[in-house]
Each structure stands twice: as C-alpha cells, then as structure tokens.
Structure 1
Amino acid sequence: MSDPKIWAAFVSGGFALAGTIYVAILNHFSRKEHQRFKAATDEKLATFRANVGKDIARFEAQTAKELAKLNADFQNERDERLAKQQSEKVLSKFRAPLLQAAYDLQSRIFNILKLEFLPTFYSNGSDLEQEYAVENTVFLLAQFLGWTELIRQEIQFLDLRSDEETRKLRSLQDSIFTRLRTDKFGQGFRLFAGEQRAVGELMIDRTGELPRCIGFATFLTDRNPNLDRWLDLLREDVKKMAADVKPYEKRLISIQHSLIDLLEFLDRNYVYFPMKSRLKI
C-alpha cells in the first residue's frame, strides 16, 4: 500500500464507487419523484377530463333542450299559421252569406219593433201576406243559425287559439246565442243552445259542390217535421207579437244589438251595407 500508484488506484476506485452509489441513490429518488409527479399529474388530468366531460354533457343537454324548444316553437308557429290560413279560407268562403243572414235578421227585428211590420202584414194583411210575415220571420232566424252552424262545423277541428279574428267571431256568435237562449227575457221567442244547433244543422244543404243553407222556397215547400218541432213554437210567438210585441221587446232588442256588432266585425268598412241601415234600436 506504500506504492503511490496502488494508493492512487485505490482512491480513484473509491471515488468511482462512491459516485456510482450517489448516482444510483439520486436516480432512485428521481424515479420516485417522477412517479409522484406523474401520479399527481394523471390525477389532475383525470379530474380535468371528468370536469370537461361533465361540462360537455351539460352543454349538450342544454343545447338539446334549447333546440327542442326552438323546434317546438317553430312547429307551433307553423301549425298556427296553417290553422289561421284554413280559418281565413272558411271565413272568406262563408263571410258574405253569414253577413247577409245577420243583416236580414236584424233588419226584420228593426221592422217589427219600429215599423209595425207584423201588425201591417199579419194582423191586417192578406192570407199570403200573413203567411209570409210569419214564415219569413222564422226562416230568417233559422237561416242565420244555419250559416253559423256551417261555419262552426268547418273550423271545429282547427286549433285557433292564436287566431284573434276567429276568436272574435266566436265571441260575437256566442253573444247572439246567449241572448236567444237566456231565461231573463222570459220564455217567448227562445231557443236553447242545443235547439239552436239542431235548427242550424237541419238548415244545411250538402248536396251541392259546396255546403250551403237552404233557401226560403225550399224551406216553405219541403217542410221538415224535424225542424217544425222547434220552429212551430217560434211561429206562435211571431203571431203573438203582431198583437203585442212588448213581452218580446227586450230579447229582440238584445239580439238586434248583437247582430249589429257582428255586422261591424264582418263589414268594418261598410262595403256591403251602409251605416244608416245598421243602427241599433
């Protein structure tokens, strides 16, 4: 060991061994640190991915919900437009005859109350005039109910909740029906709701290309016993009006006012009938 070369080799080997051990220890701790870092990183990455997945799922669910609502709104809007178009077709097809029927009925009521139509043509008229005074008065009411029922049947399956025009028409029709059926005016010249519908149904003629209400000639010549079961009572009321209209006055005035409101709705610009012929009693 006294040989310097041997000692130097020994020392050099010792340092090399110590270095190897140090490097081995350092590598050992480095691997553990790396593993700890990797594990922590993997955990954070997994958490991040899970959170991102939840966010994506929430986003997709919200997007699907909003898309479904948009589709539903679009479908509802489309259905409403289609229903409104269909109702407009019905109203345009039957507006004129309903308008005419409403005008004729209110005009007859005006003549009965203000121009002594029944005393003139029933009480003091010829046999033909008497028949006309009674039958035509009853026909005018039945005709109005016929056109009203026809329109109701044509649009009953349409969803018209957003159609302001049709809702207004129904409201005006209901107003007339209510005044015709109510007991607050007594029992004279009254038809219950079901009777009004029944008369309207029996007045409809569907034999042609388009449904329509039967005319006065058919009403007279083809006497329908099913119609007469309700109209005969009205005929008797008309005859009684010729002697004394006072018991019937409130109901007739109320119906006439509602008919004028309907005319205002159907003919706002007085295209068919002038304002002076549409005055409320």
Structure 2
Amino acid sequence: MSILEGVESVLAMFEHGRHEVTFNDVIDELGLAKSSASRLLAQMVRYRLLELQPSTRRYRPGTLLIRAAQAATQAHPFDEQCRAILAALSDSTGFTAYLSMLDGTDTVVLQRLNGSNPVQVLSPPGARRPAFTTAMGRVLLSRLPAAEFSARYGTSGARKLPEAPAGCPATVAELAERVASASRERSAIAVNEGMPGIGAVATTLADPLSGDVRGLCLSFTAMQVSQAQAQALRETLVQAVAPVGQRLGDPLWLQPGDSAAK
C-alpha cells in the first residue's frame, strides 16, 4: 500500500458519520501491521490530516482537513445564506460572529466574522470546543434526536461530564435540561461559562435538502453586555434567522416557539 493509499483508507473511515478512530481500528479494519499503522498515523498527525487526543489516544480529522472543508463550504449556497445573516448582525452590533457545526461532542468553527468593537472574541476556523460548555454547542445538540444524544453522551443522567468548567452542566442530566431549554426557545445564552469573561447568544439553521445544520452565534465580552442586553441580542438573532429558516422550510422555524426573551 502506497502512502497516499494509506491516507485515503484512513480518511475513508470517517465517511459515514464516524468522528474518531483508534490505533486498533486502523490495524483491524485496514489490515495493517502495527509498525506500518504507527508510521502512517504519525505522518498524518504531523501534517495536520489527523489530530491525536492525548487523553483518549483517539484520532479525529485534523485542522488542515477542517480548513479545506471550510473552503469548500464557503461555496455552498446554504452556508452563504448563513454567512449573510451573520455579516449583517456583526455589522449592526459590532460583535464577533461565528458559523459552526457539530462534530461528535465538539463544536467546530467554520467561519468567523470580526466585528467593529475594539474588544473582540476570536477563535480561528477549525477551533473546537466541547459542545456542553457553550451556547453554540447546546443549540446544535438540541437538533439531535434523543437516541443520537444518548449515543454521544450515554444514557446515565448521573454521568459526569469531563472537566466541566464553572457554570457549565456537570452531568448528562443537567446538560439534557439545558439542551431541552435551547430546543424550546430555539436559542441559547451562555455568559461566564466555558470561557470566563465571555458571553454568547446562539441559534441554529438547517437545510432540509442537504440535512446540514449550522450554529449561528454572536460573541462578546461579559463586561460589554448586561443580562437584559444579552436577552435582547438573542431576540435579534432569532428574528434574523427565523425568516430564512421559514423560506428554507426548516421545520424548527415553521412551528411556533417559546419567546427567546425570557
């Protein structure tokens, strides 16, 4: 097997919704010797085609692949519509806007639009964060069927979430409550949670044709926005996304929802 054939074979393991693979997966499924698999995976990590998680020793797509995918998605009409919403909101509010997707139990930044405020919250395209720690993550999780949520987090509500920062859900049950709230309100707010001193409002938009779901978010420093202003900002975001969702036929926006301004 040539090096390119090996790279293609490893990347093909992610084709059908798989988010991570192990060293043993590569050996067993590709029929490689341990030494060959070790060299191949090490090279793929070195060149950012894969990322090795130190805590789990599992491999997932690397930043180079994610950024290549980002370049491709920028030409996707659905993402262009999402970007147009965020560009208008970033221009009108001055805050940083993000377009993200859910990958396993992480959010991944696809696009970032810098605002005009002197103080900006900046995460580069390709950046990952645990979904349970952010407003963006919880609205994206709210799109999952219950069985899929359980597949990713387990069925035990008492299960502890890993290294939960202050203010974030500490257990699967607490996360499920926050996700249910995001589903009812079709949006979420997080201030001083996963990132101290940082706040965000987020919602989602889905393309019924492709099945793609995107998270749309405005991020700000906690000192810039009061609680009442954050609620108003969430309502502004929802009002901007709702007509696009209705035009696309996104079921979330075709049904009545709780007021976001609670």
TM-score bracket for the superposition, by shorter chain length = under 0.3
- Asked which structure has the greater RCO (Cα within 8 Å, sep 6+), the reply is 1
For the pair shown, which has the larger CA radius of gyration, 1 or 2? 1
Higher helix fraction: Structure 1 or Structure 2? 1
| TM-score of the superposed pair, with normalisation by structure 1 | 0.24
Higher strand fraction: Structure 1 or Structure 2? 2
